[in-house]
Amino acid sequence: MDDQPASSVDENPWDALRRYTNARIALGRAGSSLPTAALLAFELSHAQARDAVHQPLDTAALHGALRAAGFDTLDAASAAPDRDHYLRRPDLGRTLGDESAAALAAHAKTLKEAPDVVFVVADGLSAYAAARHATPFLAALRPCLAGWNIGPAVVATQARVALGDGIGELLRARSVVVLIGERPGLSSPDSLGIYLTWAPRIGRSDAERNCISNVRPEGLAYAPAAFRLHYLLDKARSLKLTGVGLKDDSDSLLVASAKPGGTIESA
C-alpha cells in the first residue's frame, strides 16, 4: 500500500498550459481556495513589485557598468527631492533639478559636435529594471551604431520619461533614448521600457515618441530589442521625426533576418 497521504489540492486539467506563460493560470484548488504554494507565490510577487517601486538605484554600480561597456556617463536628477514626492508628484519627475540642468548645460559646451543620440538610463518605477537590463541592452545595441556620434549616457534618478526631453535639449542631441523601469507587474518587477524622441525639447508629447516595452530576458530579449531600436533610430534620422508619424515595420525584417542557424543582424 502507498503510505503517502493523498494531496488535498485538486489539480487543474489545464496545468500543461502553464509552461507557455508566466500568467497565473491553472493554479489548482484546495477546497474553495488557492493552494498554499500559489498563495505564497502571489504574496512574494506582490512584495517584489512593491520593493521595485521603492528600491533606490545604485548609481555608482550603474556608472561602473556603463563605463566598462564603453560609455561616458553623467548624472542627472529630477526636481523631485525624494521618492515620496516622486510618486505623489509626477510633474516633478518630468523636470530637471536646477543643479542637474546647470551641469548638463556646462557639459554641452565641452562637446565638439552635437550627439546623434543620447541615452538616458532612468530609475522610473523600477530601479531593478535599469540596474539589470540597461547595460546589457546597450552592449547589444552599440555594434549597430557604427558611425553614430553617441553622447554620454546619463544616469537619471527620480525620473519620468519626459525628463529625457530636457536632457536631450541641453546636450543638443538630435535624438534621445530613455531606458526606464516600467511600472512593476505581479510577474514582471524588472521590465525595461525604451522611449525614442527625435529633436528632444521640453514640451514634447507622448505622441511624439516611439516605445519598445518589456525588455528583459523573459520578455523581449536584448538582441531583438536592439534590432528594433536601431531600425527606429535609422528611420527617425531619415524622416526627422518620431511618434505617430514613424511606423515600426521592423517585425517583418526581424523575421527575415532570424533564419534557422543564423543570427540577428542590423537592418
- pLDDT digit string (tens) for 85-120? 999 999 999 999 999 999 999 999 999 999 999 999
Say how many C-beta atoms besides its own lie within 10 A of residue 18's C-beta.
14
Q: Is 252 exposed, middle or buried (0-12, 13-18, 19+ CB in 10 A)?
A: exposed
Backbone angles phi, psi at 144, to 5 degrees: -75, -15
- pLDDT digit string (tens) for 58-88? 999 999 999 999 999 999 999 999 999 999 9
> Measured between alpha carbons, how far is 195 from 74 in angstroms, rounded to an integer?
19
DSSP single-letter state for residue 182: P
**Regions of the chain short of the pLDDT cut 70:** 1-13, 15, 18, 254-267
113 is in an annotated binding site: no
Read off the pTM: 0.83
211 is in an annotated binding site: yes
Would you kindly state where each structural domain of the chain is located, as residue ranges? 56-254
Structure confidence at residue 47 (pLDDT): 78
Structure confidence at residue 34 (pLDDT): 79
> Measured between alpha carbons, how far is 140 from 142 in angstroms, rounded to an integer?
6
> Measured between alpha carbons, how far is 3 from 235 in angstroms, rounded to an integer?
67
121 is in an annotated binding site: no
Contacting residues for 260 by C-beta, under 8 A, at least 6 apart? none
CATH dotted code for 56-254: 3.40.50.11240
| Grid cell digits, residue 157 | 534618478
Structure confidence at residue 161 (pLDDT): 97
For cell 530613455, what's the residue?
Answer: 178
- Whether 254 contacts 225, CB under 8 Å: no
